[in-house]
Structure formats: structure tokens, C-alpha cells
Amino acid sequence: MVTSADGVVVIAAQCIFRGDGWTGDLETSNLHDEDWRSEAAQSLARLRALNPQRVFLSHDSELAFPPS
């Protein structure tokens, strides 16, 4: 997490692979595997609670996305 003049920016590595999982249901294809679903959901909840202005995911082809 980085705090900038525009607000909080999250840089995340293993919570989910693609940004489309930020607001939607956790699909197995967006996780390491099904066994990680609970941990991923908990990580996402903590990251969402930061109310970030931008999110960078290490496995996403998009460099950044604004959360919805």
C-alpha cells in the first residue's frame, strides 16, 4: 500500500490474478487454486477496506485499474 496525493494505491501479488475479481465472485481461474479461496477472500476484504484509488495486480495484463 502506498499513500499518494490522490489517495491509497494498492500493489498486490497473490490475492487474485486479474482485476475482474476485485468486485465480482472469486472464480477458481482467478486464484492459485480452489484451496486458496478462503485466504483470497480474506485478503481482498482487507484490501478493499483500504478504499484504494488505484490497484495494481502483479499477474494482470492491465497495469492498474480503478476499483469500483
Q: Mind listing the pLDDT tens digit for each residue in 12-59?
A: 777 787 877 777 777 878 787 788 888 888 888 888 899 888 888 877
16: CB partners within 8 A, 6+ apart: 22, 26, 30, 31, 40, 44, 57
pLDDT higher than threshold 70 for residue 63: no
What is the domain count for the chain?
1
- Band of the pLDDT at 9, cuts 50, 70, 90? confident
The range of the structural domain enclosing residue 25 comes to: 2-57
Q: Is 16 a member of any domain? A: yes
Q: Is 62 a member of any domain? A: no
pTM, 2 dp: 0.75
Q: Is 29 a member of any domain? A: yes
pLDDT score at 25: 77
Element (H, E) at 10: strand 7-12
CB 57 within 8 A of CB 17: yes
- Band of the pLDDT at 68, cuts 50, 70, 90? low
